[in-house]
Copies of this chain bind each other. A is one copy, B any other.
Amino acid sequence: MSSASPLALLGNLGYDVRAMSYARPNIEQMHGYVPGEQPKVPGLIKLNTNENPYPPSPKVFEALRAAVDERLRLYPDPQSLGLRQKLGRRFGFDPAQILIGNGCDDILNLCVRAFVGEGEKLAYFWPSYSLYPVLADIQGAQKIELPLDDQFQIRSVPSVAGVKLLFITQPNAPSGVWLHKEKLRDIIETMDGVVVVDEAYVDFASDNCLNFIGKYPNVLVARSFSKSSALAGMRLGWVVGPTELIGALDKVRDSYNVSRLSQLAGEAAIDDVPYFEETVRKVKATRERVRRQLEDWSFGVLPSETNFVFAKPPAPLTAKRWFDGLRERKVLVRWWDADRIRDFARVSIGTDKEMDKFLEATHETLR
């Protein structure tokens, strides 16, 4: 060992202390993102991570089974061109305006890396997707939390001077509400930096923000196959926007970021529009039925444009006791012990049968 080795010099300080200092200070200090549980309890009704209760299209299964062969030894198309072409045709964009990610989280990550340097400002509304502050911490960016009002809406255009990147979840999570589009326009026109409209849940809403693309040079719209296409297990997301912004994301992207099978699953899902529309329709119908029942029982339910409801139980029942009571009855929903949202629980919309059990379990916790 070289006599100049800091390892030798620090030897007595021990392993742990030394090793921790290898990480950047922002990484050392931060807390990682905590995903919802993926428990393997038999018989559990899983309404905690907003998965689609219906399977992916049968065409997806066909495409995947046909692709499980020796071609898996080959790298995938680094450009995911087939999938981008299909998305372009479906939504009316040039494939050059589209980029594919290993899940929508990959897309959000690329946006941070392309547009926000260390110490620069990254903004997001709060409460919203809890990954945004984590991505800011990883990048060593300055977090700007923009509060939503009591109805989880944007009250007035916030000050966004110097903000390099703003994430807006539309419809928002965990509230499920649709943010007024006029307010979004006002913010976009004030913004100096890039606005990412994160539309992970938008297929369950009545509107979307794709018409911002082509109108604003600083807007990207991100989408996911996880929820409405029931492909959470395949990891697939996409983003559309001006080619200049897409080009910046493409430089940051891992060149083989999407597997052969995930690309094919996405293509097959897009091809089956009737199946997609039918399952989305069913989820929305169930959502409204659940909302009405909860409201009949005096829950406060926010108007949902997503595949979940965010609901506040009537006193004396608390959200925490509702959550615990459901869990005891093998129904898993999501509850956060966090400011602004601890009075609510978020309930993903399952099949009608699952939601009947959820309602039954809820009714029992009300007694």
Q: Decide if A193 is an interface residue (CB 8 Å cutoff).
A: yes
Q: Does A76 contact B (CB under 8 A)?
A: yes
Residue A278 CB within 8 A of the other chain: no
Q: Which of B64, B65, B74, B106 contacts A233 (CB 8 A)?
A: B74
Q: Which of B51, B190, B262 contacts A2 (CB 8 A)?
A: B190
Contact A24 B103 (CB under 8 A): no
Nearest Cβ on chain B to A251's Cβ, whole angstroms: 4
Tell whether A68 pairs with B72 under 8 Å between CB atoms, given A15-B242, A35-B256, A115-B23: no
**A73-87 CB contacts (< 8 Å) to partner B:** 73-78
CB of A68 to closest CB in B, whole Å: 5
Whether A260 sits at the interface, judged by CB under 8 Å, is yes
Q: How far is the CA of A1 from the CA of B8 in the complex (A)?
A: 62
Residue in B closest to A61 when the chains form the complex, CB atoms:
B68
B245 touching A233, Cβ below 8 Å:
no
Chain A residues 240-262 with CB under 8 Å of chain B are: 242, 244-245, 248, 250-252, 254-262
With A7-B218, A189-B1, A244-B16 as given contacts, are A75 and B49 in contact (CB-CB < 8 Å)?
yes
Q: How far is the CA of A249 from the CA of B76 in the complex (A)?
A: 25
Cα of A259 to Cα of B189 in the assembled complex, Å: 38
Instruction: Find out whether the CB atom of B30 lies under 8 angstroms from the CB atom of A251.
Output: yes
Chain B CB within 8 A of A194 CB: yes
Q: Kindly specify which of A142-150, A224-232, A356-364 makes contact with the partner chain.
A: A224-232
Partner-binding segment picked from A52-60, A172-180, A197-205, A310-318: A52-60
Number of A residues whose C-beta is below 8 Å from B? 96
Whether A138 and B257, one on each chain, are in contact in the complex, defined by CB atoms closer than 8 angstroms, is no
A175-217 CB contacts (< 8 Å) to partner B: 186, 189-190, 192-194, 216-217
Q: Which residues of chain B have C-beta atoms less than 8 A from A77's C-beta? A: 38
Asked if A22 meets B254 with Cβ closer than 8 Å, knowing A248-B28, A265-B72, the reply is no
Most chain B C-beta atoms within 10 Å of own C-beta, residue among A2, A54, A74: A74
Tell yes or no: A353 within 8 A of B by CB: no
Q: Does A234 contact B (CB under 8 A)?
A: yes
A274 to B234, CA, bound (A): 29
List 4 extra interface pairs beyond A24-B115, A233-B261, CB under 8 A.
A32-B250, A102-B254, A103-B257, A109-B254
CB-CB nearest 7 A-B residue pairs: A55-B70, A19-B244, A233-B260, A23-B248, A73-B230, A32-B251, A72-B233
